[in-house]
């Protein structure tokens, strides 16, 4: 089993080049086809206001939209050429709302790659897009940190394991990448109620797929699960993490906090999430 079809969201943000580079590297290493999708979102102009807007203003808006799409395509073309995958890549432009458009296109692929939103920038809609895409697309989502990613990803992987449905789904979705990794560590954080050797069962399952997997656990810590995982990434040198997303409702995580929300805000390596 291997990745054959990867979709990457390409926009004109400053995070786009790092996300494109990560998607190209993954496509190259997996011998997969890469589609770069730019979504041209129509301006939200109330009907009562549209008739008051002069034609010249509408032409300016249209020109700006075209300029953004052209910039996205130029970035995509340069990235696939640098990665040497021009012959198995294509760029697509779709008009519509980003979430609905990306979700639909994602269902025809093995993996969708998007950018983490930059917390220093005021575009909360980008953060909401990542959250919603994870929940509704039905496909694994690889989120690339806005600070960038290693030149090679998916070689030393950390799997966050709590024996939940979401974690099991993430492991299954990530199997093509896990099978080609050099090493995989399954870590269970405060693993109450999942056996005497938490993580050992899923590590054994991975081993049967030819994955070089080990299991570890952490207990008795006074810090949040998300921080434990981030610290372990730093200590282990992992270049990717795999985890289930939103085992609790997103609203609960927004109010009370949770590992998914924390990781999405503070990630340091690409994270593959499934719901």
What secondary structure, in 3-state letters, does the chain show?
CCCCEEEEECCCCCCHHHHHHHHHHHHHHHCCEEEEEEEECCCCCCHHHHCCCCHHHHHHHHHHHHHHHHHHHHHHHHHHHHHCCHHHEEEEEEECCHHHHHHHHHCCCCEEEEECCCCCCCCHHHHHHHHHHHHHCCCCEEEECCCCCCCCCCCEEEEECCCCHHHHHHHHHHHHHHHCCCEEEEEEECCCCCCCCCCHHHHHHHHHCCCCEEEEEECCCCCCHHHHHHHHHHHHCCCEEEEECCCCCHHHHHHHCCHHHHHHHHCCCCEEEEC
65 and 26 share a domain?
yes
Task: Supply the pLDDT for residue 256.
Answer: 40
Q: Which domain holds residue 193?
A: 156-269
pLDDT digits 0-9 by tens, 48-68: 555 666 666 667 767 888 998
pLDDT digits 0-9 by tens, 195-214: 667 788 999 999 999 999 99
Residue 149 lies in a domain: no
Residue 72 lies in a domain: yes
Q: CATH code at 233?
A: 3.40.50.620
- Number of domains the chain contains: 2
User: Which residue, of 144, 171, 198, is where some domain finishes?
Assistant: 144
Percent of the chain clearing pLDDT 70 (strictly above): 83
pLDDT digits 0-9 by tens, 220-263: 667 888 999 999 999 999 999 999 998 755 554 444 447 888 99
8 has a pLDDT exceeding 50: yes
94 and 175 share a domain?
no
30 and 87 share a domain?
yes
Task: Supply the pLDDT for residue 259.
Answer: 87
User: Which residue, of 144, 165, 194, is where some domain finishes?
Assistant: 144
Residue 102 lies in a domain: yes
Residue 104 lies in a domain: yes
123 and 163 share a domain?
no
pLDDT digits 0-9 by tens, 98-145: 999 999 999 999 999 999 987 666 555 555 889 899 999 999 999 999
89 and 161 share a domain?
no
Task: Supply the pLDDT for residue 194.
Answer: 66
pLDDT digits 0-9 by tens, 150-190: 888 999 999 999 999 999 999 999 999 999 999 999 998 87
Task: Supply the pLDDT for residue 249.
Answer: 57
pLDDT digits 0-9 by tens, 29-47: 999 999 999 999 887 665 5
Q: Structure pTM?
A: 0.89
């Amino acid at each position: 089993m291997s990745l054959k079809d990867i979709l990457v969201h390409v926009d004109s943000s400053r995070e786009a080049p790092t996300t494109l580079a990560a998607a190209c590297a993954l496509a190259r290493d997996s011998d997969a086809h890469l589609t770069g999708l730019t979504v041209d979102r129509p301006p939200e102009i109330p009907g009562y206001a549209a008739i008051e807007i002069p034609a010249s203003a509408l032409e300016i808006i249209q020109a700006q939209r075209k300029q953004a799409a052209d910039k996205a395509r130029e970035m995509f073309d340069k990235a696939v050429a640098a990665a040497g995958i021009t012959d198995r890549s294509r760029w697509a432009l779709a008009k519509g709302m980003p979430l609905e458009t990306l979700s639909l296109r994602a269902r025809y692929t093995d993996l969708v790659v998007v950018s983490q939103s930059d917390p220093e920038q005021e575009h909360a809609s980008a953060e909401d897009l990542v959250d919603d895409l994870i929940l509704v697309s039905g496909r694994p989502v690889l989120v690339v940190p806005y600070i960038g990613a290693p030149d090679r990803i998916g070689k030393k992987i950390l799997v966050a394991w709590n024996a939940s449905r979401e974690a099991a789904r993430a492991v299954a979705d990530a199997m093509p990448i896990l099978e080609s990794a050099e090493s995989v560590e399954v870590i269970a954080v405060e693993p109450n109620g999942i056996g005497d050797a938490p993580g050992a069962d899923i590590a054994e399952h991975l081993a049967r797929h030819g994955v070089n997997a080990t299991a570890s656990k952490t207990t008795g810590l006074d810090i949040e699960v998300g921080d434990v995982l981030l610290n372990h990434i730093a200590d282990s040198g992992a270049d990717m993490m795999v985890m289930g997303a939103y085992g609790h409702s997103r609203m609960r995580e927004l109010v009370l906090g949770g590992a998914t929300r924390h990781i999405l805000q503070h990630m340091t390596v690409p994270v593959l999430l499934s719901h």
